[in-house]
Every structure is written in C-alpha cells, then in structure tokens.
Amino acid sequence: MRLNIEKLVYGGDGLARLPADDRGPGKAVFVPFVLPGETVEAVLREEKPGFARAQLDGILTASSRRVDPRCPYFQRCGGCRYQHTDYEHQLEIKAAILKENLRRIARLELDTELHIHPSPPWHYRNRSRFRVQAAPEFALGYYKFSSHELLPVEECPISSPLTNRALAAVWQLGRSGYVPPGIQEIEFFANSDDTQLLAEVYGLPETAAEQFIAELKLALAEISSLVFFAARPAKAEGQGDPKPLGGSGNLIYATELASYRVTAGAFFQVNRHLTDELVDVVVHRRGGARDAHRTAGGDAGATGTALDLYAGVGLFSSVLNREFERVIAVESSPTSHADLLYNSPANVKAVRATTEQYLENAAGKLRPQLVVVDPPRSGLGERVIKGLVKLAAPRITYVSCDPATLSRDLARLLQSGYRVEEAHLVDLFPQTYHLESVFHLVRWPHEQR
C-alpha cells in the first residue's frame, strides 16, 4: 500500500495514516526507516485496534534530506535508526520529538530556547556489547532489527576505533577456534582517549575460557583489565558475580573535569566526546563554564548542599562538589556505589540506598539548594515525585533518556510549583532514536542564586 509519512515518532518509526473508512478516520500506521514528507510503498505486518505496523517496501518520493547510510548493516541491524538522513536533520527530528512529547504529555509549550549540544556523529561510543555464536559456525554481532536473531557484524561505525579493533581481534580468534562454546556475549568499554579497554566476557559457569582470554590479551595489548561474568540459572535474576581474569577489573576514565573509576558492571555514559559537555550542562546550567577553580580544585566560596540522586559512579557529584559545600550522592547498585565511594572527594557523602528509600528517610531533615536526578528510562515514579515535592528544593535538574517518562514526571513537578528555567538536548546517541535531555527547574517564586 502507498503511505504518506507525516513525521517521525520516538522509537524511530515514521507515522502515516491508513485510509478512512466507514468505521472512522484512518488509524495510525508506523513504518521504520522513512523520513517526514516521503511517499512510500509498505506492507502491513501487524494490525491492532488502535494502530498498525508496516514494513518498508520501497521509496516512491524521497525526502531531500535522505542520504546513503554509512554502515553496510543499516536496516538489518537493530541499533541505528537514523543513518538514512544527515546529522543536522537528526537533531531537528529529535528536538521536534522532545517538544511534541512535552506538549502532548506534560501540556508544556517551552517558553525558553531548547539548547542543542551536538556530538561527532561517528565512532562516539565508548561501550559496545556483542552477541557471540559458537555453533554451527562462529559469529559475532548484534541482534537483527526487530528480532533476537544474531546478525554477524565485522565493523560498527558508531563504536570507537579501538572497539572496532577489538571486534576484529575477536573475529580472528573465533575463526581460529579459540572462542569456546559457553561464551555468550563480550562487552568492551574504552577510556576517554580510546587507548585502553575493559573487556567483560559473559558466559556459562562451566565455560573453559582461559585460553581464549590469554589469546585475546595477546592480540590486543590495549586490554588493561578483563572480567568474566558467569550466567545465573534461568530462574535467577541478573548476572553472576564478576571474576577478574586479568587486571584490576576496572578502568580509570579521565576527562578534563574529573577522573572516574568505572568497575565492570557499573553504568557510565556511552558518548566519549560529550562526557564533560553533559556534566557542564548539569552542574553549570548553560555549560561551558570551565574556569580554573572548576577544572582544577574547587571553590573556596562554595556554600549549601546539593543532592545527587541515581548518582552512579559519581559523574555529576565529582564536579558538583566544587559548587557546593556539601554533596550527598545516592546510589543503589553495589558495584556503582563502590566506585562512587572511590571517586568521591572529601565533601561528597556517598549513600547506598534506593532513591525512594532515601527520600522517605530524608523528609523533613534535609534542605538542599539543588537536587540532580538522573533516573533510568522508567523515570522517577510516584514515590520519588512525592519525595521531591516534600523536599521543596529551590532547584531541580532532571537528566532524562526518555522523553515520555520525562514529560510525565515534569507534569507533576510543574503542578507542584516548579517551572522550566532551561532546557537542553545533549545528543549522546547520534544515528539512533535515543535522546538525552537536561531540564533545569526552579521553584516559583525563586530568584536565581
């Protein structure tokens, strides 16, 4: 069938409409790998009461913004969704999607500029995870688009150059018979200047991986640390405890603003070019304010308390400490919390707790001047929103990786007396539909300190 693409929606698909009939207006149909304004030929693959999904069968009228994808696996791989358009257009699409979610869910029309922070569009990822297949023949790659079937991949243009070298090394070892059947996944995490790798190998507990590990370290001298994670039984959640097989089991990720220890299994942002940019935007609002005391050692005049929730390894608290007399950083993951303790300067208190638990216990006892929240895709949730409202901090900075849950949470915070002072789109994920945003909220009425 012929479809006219109206716009792109979060998730990467284009939105079109089926023809109206006697049952009412045409339902929405979602088509991948298209662009706004295009006319396409598509085949319906799934139809539900409220919407349908279709597979692209051909481009009848192409957008002027359509380009040839750089990656030979594009449209087959489940990763990138925007390689068929130029990078400037990708940013325009993401900004439009973010604003539409704010309007539709939060009933918010931004009355302030949305600041856009672009990234180098290629080779930006410091972390990449590859699926391993040992039989009937060795293969290494990602999942196919909309599938859990392996797509063999021998290069990845959004992964760092060193990661691509590691990918090639594992392919060579696999073809030479050094990769044992029990290995299921391999993840590489590169430091900020792409000169060292932390390798994480995931496999069955009985896997005899010693020879493979030894050969991998010989093939790639940049591997400074290597860890094996044994899979847990099928009914158990998560992964087994890490077993270091070489090195310390962590990587030191040093940027201009701070240095972070990141242990295998801990979360860290994936864009190696925008780490400091993101921290700047969060800590200094408009960003770029890296004067001498901020980069090299602290501010003797810093006062007040900042609260860093979902703190991870201390990405923000390690720099917030230069702006505030005291910082309380809260993290629930034992792995990330151990790194947070290691990375925390003297005036940062690292607390191991869930955000929900901490806010319930802190009610009435704490009066921070700033609260930074960086939740997972699921957002803050009702308990955290209630805790933040009771806390009544003059400022909240919300770091989000999902525009829908961000908009849901902003709606509650705006109803509770906050307003948006600044909005930023920090593009940590070029070529993909994912988008990172930072919203600075101020409690009204409140004068900027």
Return the percentage of the chain with pLDDT > 90, whole number.
84
Q: Tell me what the pLDDT averaged over the chain comes to.
A: 92
Q: Is the pLDDT of residue 412 over 70?
A: yes
Supply 376's token pair. Answer: 């997972």
Please report which confidence band the pLDDT of residue 370 belongs to, taking 50, 70 and 90 as the band edges: very high
Cα distances from 97 to residues 10, 65, 411, 436, in angstroms, run: 6, 17, 17, 12
First to last CA, the chain: 58
pLDDT attached to residue 150: 97
Contacts of 305 (CB under 8 A, 6+ apart): 324, 325, 326, 327, 328, 366, 367, 368, 369
Q: Does 2-66 match 99-120+271-443 in CATH topology?
A: no
CA gap 389, 178 in Å, rounded: 56
3-state secondary structure of 124: coil
What dotted CATH number matches 127-254? 2.40.50.1070
Tell me how many degrees the CA angle 96-99-102 measures, rounded to the nearest 5.
150
Supply 128's token pair. Answer: 């990449």
pLDDT in tens, 24-76: 678 999 999 999 999 999 999 999 988 999 999 999 999 999 999 999 999 99
Q: Is the pLDDT of residue 235 over 60?
A: no
Cα distances from 296 to residues 257, 339, 342, 346, in angstroms, run: 8, 21, 19, 15
CA gap 262, 127 in Å, rounded: 12
pLDDT in tens, 292-351: 334 434 455 678 999 999 999 999 999 999 999 999 999 999 999 999 999 999 999 999
Return the percentage of the chain with pLDDT > 70, whole number.
92
What dotted CATH number matches 99-120+271-443? 3.40.50.150
Asked if 78 and 142 count as a contact pair (C-beta separation under 8 A), the reply is yes
- Mean pLDDT over 432-447 rounds to 89
Least confident span in 12-21, 323-332, 374-383: 12-21
Q: Structural domain boundaries of the chain?
A: 2-66, 99-120+271-443, 127-254
pLDDT attached to residue 233: 47
CA gap 379, 209 in Å, rounded: 38
pLDDT attached to residue 291: 41
pLDDT attached to residue 208: 82
- The letter for the amino acid at 207 is T
CA gap 179, 198 in Å, rounded: 18
Report which of residues 26 and 285 the model is more confident about: 26
Classify domain 2-66 at the CATH class level.
mainly beta
pLDDT in tens, 77-86: 999 999 999 9
Contacts of 40 (CB under 8 A, 6+ apart): 2, 3, 5, 14, 16, 31, 34, 56, 57, 58, 59, 60
Q: Is the pLDDT of residue 449 over 70?
A: no
